[in-house]
Amino acid sequence: MMDTQRPLDALGKSINTNITVFLKDGKEIKGRLKAYDLHMNVALENAKFEEKEYPMIVVRGDNVLYVSL
């Protein structure tokens, strides 16, 4: 039987690693993944968005196009 990995399992293994979140409007946010939920809401620490840095940022899942781990 093939070992399959669900998308949220991949996010779970990426806690405390740097990821890039690509938004539906074409922008992207980079930061360290601290938390996520089933709706793809993600909390990023030390986030960089539009040349600004934020100690913590929460991205609503409705805005997420895809995540690069």
Q: What is the model's pTM?
A: 0.90
Count of domains forming the chain: 1
pLDDT at 2: 52
d(CA 12, CA 26) in angstroms, rounded, equals: 25
Rounded CA-CA distance 28/59 in Å is 11
Q: Judge whether 40 lies within some domain.
A: yes
Q: How far apart are CA 25 and CA 45, in angstroms?
A: 21
SS3 65: strand
Mean pLDDT in runs of 10 for the chain (69 residues)? 74 96 98 96 98 98 96
Residue 9 covered by a domain = no
Asked whether residue 55 is assigned to any structural domain, the reply reads: yes
57 is in which domain, residue-wise? 19-68
CATH code at 54?
A: 2.30.30.100
The pLDDT of residue 7 is 84
